[in-house]
Each structure stands twice: as C-alpha cells, then as structure tokens.
Structure 1
Amino acid sequence: MNTPTFRNLVVAYTATDTGRDALNLGIAMARTSGAHLNLVTVVPQDNIYAAVYPSDRGHMPIIQEQVREWLEQAQASLPADISSSIHTITDSSDAAGLLTATQQLNGSAIVLGGRRGGLLRRFRLGTTATTLLHSSPVPVALAPGGYQNQAKLSGFTAMFGARPGAEAVIHYALQAAQSFNLPLRLVSLLFLDEHQADFLPEGINTADLIAQVEQFGNEQLAAQAADMVANHQASTVVATGKDVHDAVDQLTWMEQELVIFGSSRLASEQHTFLGATAAKILRHIPSPMMVIPAETT
C-alpha cells in the first residue's frame, strides 16, 4: 500500500503565476508534514532539435543564470519555518525533467500549479500537468489557479467509488489523516437518473458509507474508518446526482483542504493515471488535489 510521506516535495517552479500557485501549495504541505521543499526549474535542453538558432546557443548560460536568479528569489520569499533547496535540470520536456529530478532527489511527491484562466479558480490542465498526472511514480499534487493559501492544510477529502483503486485511495487517506492529525472526509459519489432517485432511501447515513468502504476497500479499512468516525476524526458523505456536476455541487469545499484521488484502472503499476470521472470532478472543485499511483497487482 502507498504510505503518505510528504518528507521531500518536488515543487515545479517557474517565475509565473502558475509557479507561485505551486509554491504556495508546497508551503502548505510542508507546514502540514515538516517536509523539505525542492524548488525545481527545467531549463530547455540545448541540442540540434531545440528551437534555438545555432548562433544563439551561447545564450544558454545566460538563460541558466536567469533561472537560477528566479529560483533564489523564490527561495528567499519562503517563510522562515520552511526547509528548502533549489535545483535546475536540463531537458527538452518539462515533465520528463521533473520526473528525472524527482528520482535524483528521492522526491516523495510532485507539486504543480494549474493553468490560469479557468472560471471560479477551477482547474485547467497544461501539458506538463496532464503528462505527470498520467505517468508519475509518486503522487502528484495540483494547485488550482490563483491558489494563495500557505497555512497548514485543514484536512483531507478522499473521493472514491465502485471502481478498482478505491482500496488504495481509502487506505492512503486514512493513513494521511492519522499521520498528520487532520480530519478526513470520505466522499462516495452516486450517480442516479430521476427514476432511480425516486427509490433512493432518505438519509443515507454513516453506516451506509462504511459499508461501501468495506465493499470497495476491505473489512480492515472499514473498521478503521468507523473508528475514526466514532472518534470524530472523520466524517462521511454520499453525494448523489444525475452526473458529476450535480453530485459534486452538493459538497462544500475549503481552500485549505487537499482532495485525494486514486488512479484509474488504466494506470501502469505504481504510476498515476487520472481517470475520466476524476478529471470531470476537477472542473468543479476549487481546492487543491492529489492523485496517488496505482498499487502493484
């Protein structure tokens, strides 16, 4: 099982609004866990295929110097209680460069900023985020556009359903909540058409959702979840609706929480793969999210 360890975070930093969003989320996660922040910028690779004329290749040291200056400024802006280091890596692909840096630095998670321009500070995925959310061997956390929180995370929300991967995300979220002493919200989405909704029993309760945890996870996870609920460390929600938007719209969200998703059944072993339902949910939530890798089968 994946175990939550935010000990060594790789923050994808650029001197842009997107980079600042990633940095803010990295700070919040570090304050939650005591993690070290590795601020990493990928410098374009200087090769015969690069979009630089041969006569301009002498500009690469200048570019590297400028990137280093931006990283130093970002590091200087960090709160005094945050441990950090700065790194550059050269690659023709930002995603590939970040994966290489994560391996070299023994990173436990990658932190990204989402593209700006989405309505109501929802998520828009750029090329780098899309690639990493479908190929990373470590969890990938993503800040929504305009994310400003630097305070400790206020809690976790685990999204799960009747699909492979539910056991992994439930286990990860339970362990994260206990490790960092934060409240957990277990959310199961139930999609119903109008006819089915007429037969839905009123007041779906905690016992119903714990039963789902046992069904989609296992008996041990269900017992652990029930114990946390009994001790007021966790809460349960079954959000119903005719589609993702309708169901998610019933939930309240906080900027300081982290929403955790499992990977799709299409994921390679021990790699992330953002599923279709999770991708739809992202369009409707304003909170930062994280996708964890699939378990080895």
Structure 2
Amino acid sequence: MSDRLRVLAGYSPDDRGEDALALAALLARGTGAALTVANVHPPAWPARGPGSVDAEWVGYLKEQSAAALAQAGERLGALKVAKKDAAFRQHAHRGSGRGLIEVAGETGAGLIVIGSAPRGRRGRIAIGSTADQLLHGSPVPVLLAPRGYAEEAPERFGRLTVAYWRRRDTEAPLAVAGAFARRLGLPVRLVTLVLRPPGLPARFLRADDVVQRQLAQAEKDLAHAAGVVGADGAVEVRTEAVPGVGIAKTLGAVDMPPGEVLACMSSHDGPLRKVFLGESAGKIVRAAPCPVLVLPRGGGTR
C-alpha cells in the first residue's frame, strides 16, 4: 500500500449511501485517508439519430447526481470530516459496481466502501447488484457497511477479526489485512470456524475425536497465520478456533463488540488479485453483525 490510503465511497441519496458514507468517514478520521465520494448514475439513452443522445435526459441525470454529491458533502460535516478534505466524482455507467471499479482505477483508490442493499435485515449485509459486481471483480478490497450503520456507527474501530482457513494464496491477503490493521492501530484476531457436519454424531461413534483433530489442526494453521500477520511485531495478534454447525450459527457464537471489522478472503477459484466471493465467504458476509472487508485473492491493493 502507499503511505496514504485512498478510500472511495459509493454514495446514493438513500440509507445505503448514508451507511457507506458513515463507514468511509470513520476510516478517514481514523487513518487520515484521502476520501473520494462517487455517485454512479445511468448513462445517456440513445436518441433518434445515430450516435446522438437526449440532451435533456443527460442534463437530468447529471443534475440528480450533483444533488446527491452535494447532500453527501453536507453529511460529511456531521460525520466530522471537512467537505474540503474530500473529493467528489460523478460517473456514468450501466452498472453501479462496475462504475465504482472504474472510478477506483482513475483515483488510485485502495479501498471501495459501499452500503448494504436495502432489502437486508437491520444490522446485517444484503448483497445487491452493486455489491455483486464489486464482489466478483474488484481489484481492491471492498468494505461493506451493515444496514443501519449510519445510526449506530461507533466513535472508532476496536479490532480487526479475520475469518481464516488455511489454503494456497492466503499469505498475501493476510499481509493486506495486517497492513489495514496497522493503519488503524487495531489488534487482529484470527478466527477459524471448525464446522461439524449436521448428523455427524449420529453416524460416527467417535465424532468428538474427529472434531478435536480438526480443532488441533486449525490451531496449528492459525499459529502459522499469526506469524504472517504479526511478522514485524507491529500488530497484536490472537487466534481462536470455534467449533459449531453451519457458518451463520457458528459465527453467531463469536464475540463481535461495537467497533469490530470482520475480514474474509476471496475464493481460491476466483481470478488472482481480484475480489471473488465464494460460497463460504458469502455466508460470512450475510451473517456478520459488523462491517465486512473482502480481500482480493493474492493481495491486490494500493
């Protein structure tokens, strides 16, 4: 990462935009990050003549986008970020997530922040079309705010928890997570969910022995990961292996106080240096009661 983190917040004049802005402002206050607020609006529609567009429609789209960014600028003051310290961008694209990826490339952003889709439960993250595009192609980490975060945001972050399973290509994302924690001055907790398949005790007489072996292996893997994250001694790292049945239920047993940020890694099946949300990570995102940071496979941040 560069010395100064560049944060891009996707803003729309609704609750999800407010949640994203509150989370991005908290980052800016905590790290001194350079903040850009972007509103992605639809492109112009083709009009009667070939290659022409409806000038009135274009003007309306730009006017609405400018009004949204003006509202964001006013909101920043209440979030203790001076409007003059932020940049504002309008961008036309058919897909809001893909549009944010383009703006991130143009501005050198190392992190994209968005809110939950509006249909989600309060305090949880629902993945809508914007998040889906970002979580299947962003070259930089994506930070998602739970629904209602703007109303309940803490004064500061308290800890970064990383959901960890040992596999190939995990060391680079772990290093990114460690760098993120250092920027915010946060301790790191590495958590592995040791999942017992439903019905295992009924089929295996020594099921508890199986789980104990899984826990023992998880603790070894966590010790290795802790060495990667805390290699320079600048980050306090602790580990936790949590047994349970199902990702959502097991994650619910993990203590997540206010100020927590949960990080998870992209699927090994996704493209290198891109975010690609796999099935397990998707379940973690939806079950988490706090902001979730999704890390690209192989690192991939600025």
Q: Please, what TM-score do these two structures have when normalized by structure 1?
A: 0.84
CA spacing shift, 1:98–1:81, aligned 2, 3 Å: closer
Shift of 1:120: 4.5
Shift of 1:156: 0.5
SS in 1 for 2:149: coil
Q: Which residues in structure 2 correspond to 1:23-38 (within 5 Å)?
A: 23-38=21-36
CA spacing shift, 1:6–1:201, aligned 2, 3 Å: farther
Question: Residue 165 of structure 1 contacts residue 263 of structure 1 at CA under 8 Å; is this kept in 2?
Answer: no
The yes-or-no answer on 1:152 pairing with 2:156 is yes
SS in 2 for 1:119: coil
* Structure 2 equivalent of residue 90 of structure 1: 92
Runs of 5+ unmatched residues, structure 1: none
CA–CA distance in structure 1, aligned partners of residues 187 and 230 of structure 2: 17
Aligned partner letter, 1:161 = W
Question: Residue 173 of structure 2 contacts residue 298 of structure 2 at CA under 8 Å; is this kept in 1?
Answer: no
* Structure 2 equivalent of residue 198 of structure 1: 208
CA–CA distance in structure 1, aligned partners of residues 104 and 132 of structure 2: 17
Aligned partner letter, 1:187 = V
Shift of 1:31: 1.7
CA–CA distance in structure 2, aligned partners of residues 61 and 222 of structure 1: 49
CA RMSD of aligned residues (A): 2.9
CA–CA distance in structure 2, aligned partners of residues 212 and 228 of structure 1: 21
CA spacing shift, 1:131–1:114, aligned 2, 3 Å: same
CA spacing shift, 1:91–1:175, aligned 2, 3 Å: closer
Question: Residue 40 of structure 2 contacts residue 90 of structure 2 at CA under 8 Å; is this kept in 1?
Answer: yes
CA–CA distance in structure 2, aligned partners of residues 280 and 165 of structure 1: 21
Aligned partner letter, 2:296 = P
CA spacing shift, 1:55–1:140, aligned 2, 3 Å: closer
CA–CA distance in structure 2, aligned partners of residues 271 and 98 of structure 1: 14
* Structure 2 equivalent of residue 289 of structure 1: 292
CA–CA distance in structure 2, aligned partners of residues 211 and 190 of structure 1: 13
Select the residue among 23, 41, 44 that pairs with 1:43: 41
SS in 1 for 2:287: coil
SS in 2 for 1:77: helix
The yes-or-no answer on 1:224 pairing with 2:231 is yes
| CA deviation profile, 1:82-102 (whole Å, cap 9, x unmatched) | 521111011222122111111
* Structure 1 equivalent of residue 179 of structure 2: 175
Q: Please, what TM-score do these two structures have when normalized by structure 2?
A: 0.83
CA–CA distance in structure 2, aligned partners of residues 223 and 37 of structure 1: 28
Question: Residue 139 of structure 1 contacts residue 290 of structure 1 at CA under 8 Å; is this kept in 2?
Answer: yes
**Identity %, equivalent residues:** 27
CA–CA distance in structure 2, aligned partners of residues 222 and 11 of structure 1: 27
* Structure 1 equivalent of residue 220 of structure 2: 211
Aligned partner letter, 1:244 = I
| CA deviation profile, 1:81-130 (whole Å, cap 9, x unmatched) | 45211110112221221111111111111111111232352111111101
Select the residue among 134, 140, 150 that pairs with 1:132: 134
The yes-or-no answer on 1:9 pairing with 2:7 is yes
The yes-or-no answer on 1:116 pairing with 2:118 is yes
| CA deviation profile, 1:145-184 (whole Å, cap 9, x unmatched) | 1112163221201111133343233322233323332111
Aligned partner letter, 1:257 = E
Shift of 1:65: 1.7
Question: Residue 10 of structure 1 contacts residue 37 of structure 1 at CA under 8 Å; is this kept in 2?
Answer: yes
CA–CA distance in structure 1, aligned partners of residues 207 and 246 of structure 2: 12
CA spacing shift, 1:24–1:150, aligned 2, 3 Å: farther
Aligned partner letter, 1:258 = V
Segment drifting more, 273-282 vs 243-252: 243-252
